């Protein structure tokens, strides 16, 4: 059906892929032609499990009949019209739905097209809120070390993964970076100790600088791109409490964790946290089309509501914001969540895979397995005793992921942390099969690696 070889040549000749060293792509090219359920098929007809939900967003599988139909139905009316100064039917209905399902207090929806944009909007909104109410000195942000919020300049400014962000330093605005409770890498390895150390550091920064701080941004319950690092219980709620105490807005970035991924509709629900601003994207359309949103409170919204001449308007927008096709499929996606009781199902499936994933921790080179809901990371190390990582040049995570591809599953590692984020609809059998592929790949690639250096 496809001229596989010709397509491969064209892909090598014309494309520049995101987050990809093209020298790697040229050695291991792959072109996806179709998908069905939890599987993707390439141009040669080989099928793979979509073990990372096509970068953390697929929910009900590929070619879900109800979602396909929602797009077809919307197409008969219109594909797109602007949201500048007007709205459209599905964007309006989706806003109502989002307010209904997100934590109490979030009453306003500002659309965009990607997670990074939703974050940019959150940052600008928080900044301008304080400007509009006359607290002009509150201009900076607090962010967590190892955090990730997208690739645009504002999002990178509040990011803290050296490998991705260091080179752009001269372009970035400054923010306060506080330690994140990465228990596995804390000298004590003690959850409570690690949590207390991080909270103390945050408290110190707030006490010293809160008058200059507009907002704190955090990935709730788990840092994704930083290496699937789960928080100790009680950390997020304490961060939220400190933000309130020091009059700093709390931005929860739910781009990766939102829409059922962690076993709750939104991760901040695990600790009954009510953010002032929340960003969502990825799973909002079931993984179909690029819709994102920044939700906020009536208090923040009202600080922008004034006569035009007062210069309090939020001057931000994108051409495709509130796209009808995207909003229509998002509505259908959320209907399916309800009809299929999906969030409860995720919690059940998470409990089912927990022991299977923990079995991987017995392998020679698996340092730690971290999981919340259907979001997991397997940290590979050279030496389990000392927690010493593999040498950077070894590219262990990448090599194991290539082996998984060979064995029939696609995923992308974060350094030496293997990522497991299957579509939420995956059956128990499919989950079991995917974990078994992961195990085989780890065994085959790490076999013969020295356990001690």
| Residue 114 C-beta: closest distance to ligand PMP, Å | 4
Sheet containing 375-380, strands listed edge to edge, beginning at the edge strand earlier in sequence: 366-372, 375-380, 417-420
Asked whether residue 349 is marked as a ligand-binding residue, the answer is: no
CA distance 9 to 348: 44
Asked whether residue 237 is marked as a ligand-binding residue, the answer is: no
Tokens 């009202």 belong to residue: 302
Structure-token pair, residue 166 = 């260091």
CA distance 316 to 326: 20
Closer CB to ligand PMP, residue 117 or residue 382?
117
Strand partners, 417: 379, 414
3-class SS at 134? coil
| Residue 215 C-beta: closest distance to ligand PMP, Å | 15
CA distance 273 to 105: 11
Closer CB to ligand PMP, residue 116 or residue 400?
116
Closer CB to ligand PMP, residue 61 or residue 224?
224
CA distance 373 to 351: 8
Closer CB to ligand PMP, residue 67 or residue 284?
284
| Residue 451 C-beta: closest distance to ligand PMP, Å | 33
Asked whether residue 306 is marked as a ligand-binding residue, the answer is: no
The closest alpha carbon to 124, from 312, 261, 316, belongs to 316
118: left (phi over 0), alpha (psi -120 to 50) or beta: alpha
Asked whether residue 403 is marked as a ligand-binding residue, the answer is: no
Asked whether residue 253 is marked as a ligand-binding residue, the answer is: yes
The closest alpha carbon to 224, from 285, 150, 291, belongs to 150
What b-and-e string marks burial along 124-137, b requiring 16 or more CB atoms within 10 Å of the CB? bbbbbbbbbeeeee
* Residues at the site binding ligand PMP, with contacts judged by CB under 6 A: 56, 114-116, 119, 148-150, 219, 224-225, 253, 255-256, 281
Closer CB to ligand PMP, residue 115 or residue 263?
115
Which residue number has the CB closest to ligand PMP?
Answer: 115
Asked whether residue 318 is marked as a ligand-binding residue, the answer is: yes
Handedness of CA 408, 409, 414, 420 (dihedral sign): negative
| Residue 388 C-beta: closest distance to ligand PMP, Å | 27
Type and span of the H or E element at 329: helix 324-339
List all residues 6 or more positions away from 241 whose beta carbon is below 8 Å from its beta carbon: none
List all residues 6 or more positions away from 92 whose beta carbon is below 8 Å from its beta carbon: none
Structure-token pair, residue 346 = 């995720």
Closer CB to ligand PMP, residue 329 or residue 442?
329
| Residue 253 C-beta: closest distance to ligand PMP, Å | 5
Provide φ and ψ at 222, rounded to 5°: -155, 130
Asked whether residue 317 is marked as a ligand-binding residue, the answer is: yes
| Residue 280 C-beta: closest distance to ligand PMP, Å | 10
| Residue 284 C-beta: closest distance to ligand PMP, Å | 10
| Residue 224 C-beta: closest distance to ligand PMP, Å | 4
Closer CB to ligand PMP, residue 19 or residue 308?
19
Closer CB to ligand PMP, residue 150 or residue 326?
150
Binding residues: 115-116, 148, 253, 282, 317-319, 412
Binding residues for substrate: 148, 282, 317, 412
Binding residues for pyridoxal 5'-phosphate: 115-116, 253, 318-319
């Amino acid at each position: 059906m496809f001229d596989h070889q010709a397509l491969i040549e064209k892909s090598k000749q014309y494309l520049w892929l995101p987050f990809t060293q093209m020298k790697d792509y040229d050695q291991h090219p792959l072109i996806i032609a179709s998908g069905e359920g939890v599987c993707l098929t390439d141009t040669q007809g080989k099928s793979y499990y979509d073990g990372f939900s096509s970068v953390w967003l697929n929910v009900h599988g590929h070619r879900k009949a109800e979602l396909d139909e929602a797009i077809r139905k919307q197409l008969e009316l219109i594909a797109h019209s602007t949201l500048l100064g007007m709205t459209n039917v599905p964007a309006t209905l989706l806003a109502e739905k989002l307010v209904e399902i997100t934590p109490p207090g979030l009453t306003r929806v500002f659309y965009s097209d990607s997670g990074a944009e939703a974050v940019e909007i959150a940052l600008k909104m928080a900044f301008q809120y304080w400007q509009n109410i006359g607290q002009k000195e509150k201009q900076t942000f607090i962010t967590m070390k190892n955090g990730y919020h997208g690739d645009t300049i504002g999002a990178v400014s509040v990011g803290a993964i050296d490998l991705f962000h260091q080179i752009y330093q001269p372009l970035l605005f400054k923010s306060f970076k506080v330690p994140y409770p990465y228990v596995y890498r804390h000298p004590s390895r003690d959850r409570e100790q690690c949590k207390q150390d991080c909270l103390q550091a945050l408290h110190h920064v707030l006490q010293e600088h809160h008058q200059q701080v507009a907002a704190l941004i955090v990935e709730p319950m788990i840092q994704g791109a930083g290496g699937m690092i789960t928080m100790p219980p009680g950390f997020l709620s304490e961060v939220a409490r400190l933000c309130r105490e020091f009059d700093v807005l709390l931005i929860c970035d739910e781009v990766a964790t939102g829409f059922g991924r962690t076993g709750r509709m939104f991760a901040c629900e695990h600790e009954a946290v009510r953010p002032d601003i929340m960003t969502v994207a990825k799973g909002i359309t079931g993984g179909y089309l690029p819709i994102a949103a920044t939700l906020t409170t009536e208090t923040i919204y009202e600080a922008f509501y004034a006569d035009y001449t007062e210069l309090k308007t939020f001057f931000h927008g994108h051409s495709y914001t509130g796209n009808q096709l995207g909003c229509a499929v998002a509505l259908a996606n959320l209907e399916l969540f309800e009809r299929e009781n999906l969030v409860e199902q995720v919690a059940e499936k998470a409990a089912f895979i927990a022991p299977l994933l923990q079995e991987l921790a017995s392998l020679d080179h698996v340092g730690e397995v971290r999981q919340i809901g259907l979001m997991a990371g397997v940290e590979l190390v050279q030496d389990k005793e000392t927690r010493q990582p593999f040498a950077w040049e070894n590219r262990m995570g990448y090599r194991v992921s290539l082996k998984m591809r060979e064995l029939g599953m696609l995923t992308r590692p974060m350094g030496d942390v293997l990522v497991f984020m299957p579509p939420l609809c995956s059956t128990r059998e499919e989950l079991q099969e995917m974990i078994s592929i992961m195990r085989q790949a780890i065994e085959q690639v790490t076999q013969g690696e020295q356990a001690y250096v």
